[in-house]
Amino acid sequence: MLCPKCGKENPDQAQACASCGEALLRPAAPSPRPADGMAIASLVLGISSLLFCVPAIPGLIFGILSLKKIGRSKGQLGGEALAIAGIAVSAGALLLGTLYLAILYPVFSNAREKARQTACLSNMKQLSLGLIMYAQDWDEKAPPADTWSDAIDPYVKSRKIYVCPDALDLKCGYAFNDKLTSDAFATMTNPAETLLFFESNLGWNGHGTAEALPAKPRHKGGDNFAYCDGHCKWVRRGRAPALQWLPQLETKSSSSQGTDPRPENLR
């Protein structure tokens, strides 16, 4: 360290000049540069975006703006490391969030579709119960196919159940199996296999068979069907034509006709 009076060199730790005794003045330590507030905000937002992806974008923007601000300050502002860390963490969180979304979207989509399919099955179940109650009041006979919606309307709680969640534009998203005549409904032997209602775009009082199904299956490659015993289930479209559309009816055995029911010894 040079003496300001005589110019002699002295050790750095010396308090006074060894030649003239002049007190040696130590240079003042440079004051630390204040960190830019946006750099701190960028890092905070970046860390919080690891839990909630939303702050990642503002964290990334704050970090970039902070680096530009620090560069223009000509050494008056600090916090470059904070800004860089905020940018890195925010970008990583944004990338992870995009990856999570790509993975979870199909899961949420399938869950939403499954919920609509279940709601559709519930509608068909209630329609089936309404028709069964109608038949109980009309000598075990089903309504005419071309007026079934009107016929069972008093037996259902709400017209909302006529609407399929995947066909909201239709007043009725279901059709009646027109192979079921009024009398056949009372005498069929296979109600658990015979179709009652199915999904269709024919609207109110729609009826028909497999050709009346929607052109495109509504529920993951298949359709919902209701059966004459009241149960409902989903069936893949390719199996629909092979389902039981025509009921099997009770027939009297020809061998039993004209026989005397009395025991032989009493005839």
Tens digits of residue pLDDT in 94-112: 777 777 777 766 666 677 8
The predicted model gives 182-209 an average pLDDT of 91
pLDDT of residue 105: 63
Indicate if the pLDDT at residue 257 is higher than 50.
no
Write out the H or E segment, with its range, that includes residue 176.
strand 174-177
How many C-beta neighbours within 10 Å does residue 26 have?
9
Between 35 and 153, name the one with better pLDDT.
153
Write out the H or E segment, with its range, that includes residue 89.
helix 80-137
pLDDT of residue 107: 62
The pLDDT mean for the chain works out to: 83
User: pLDDT band at residue 129, thresholds of 50, 70 and 90?
Assistant: very high
Helix (H, G, I), strand (E, B) or coil at 69: helix
Residue range 36-87, pLDDT digits in tens? 777 777 777 777 776 666 677 787 788 888 888 888 887 777 778 888 888 8
The predicted model gives 159-175 an average pLDDT of 96
pLDDT of residue 254: 40
pLDDT of residue 91: 82
Distance of CA 46 to the CA centre of its chain: 28
**For the ranges 51-60, 163-172, 173-182, which has the lowest average pLDDT?**
51-60
pLDDT of residue 81: 84
Between 168 and 68, name the one with better pLDDT.
168
pLDDT of residue 256: 44
| Beta carbons within 8 Å of 53's beta carbon, 6+ residues apart | 93, 94, 96, 97, 100
Question: What is the amino acid identity at position 42?
Answer: S
Give the pairing type, strands 195-199 and 207-208.
Answer: unpaired
Indicate if the pLDDT at residue 149 is higher than 90.
yes
Indicate if the pLDDT at residue 261 is higher than 70.
no
Helix (H, G, I), strand (E, B) or coil at 21: coil
Instruction: Assess contact for 89 and 46: CB atoms under 8 A.
Output: yes
Indicate if the pLDDT at residue 262 is higher than 70.
no
Alpha helix locations (H) across 53-79?
56-72
pTM above 0.75, yes or no: no
What are φ and ψ of residue 25, in 5° steps?
A: -95, 130
Indicate if the pLDDT at residue 234 is higher than 90.
yes
Between 256 and 209, name the one with better pLDDT.
209
Single out the residue of 217, 209, 214 nearest to residue 241, CA to CA.
209
Indicate if the pLDDT at residue 140 is higher than 70.
yes
pLDDT of residue 171: 96
Alpha-carbon distance 207 to 220, whole Å? 23
| Beta carbons within 8 Å of 13's beta carbon, 6+ residues apart | none
pLDDT of residue 255: 42
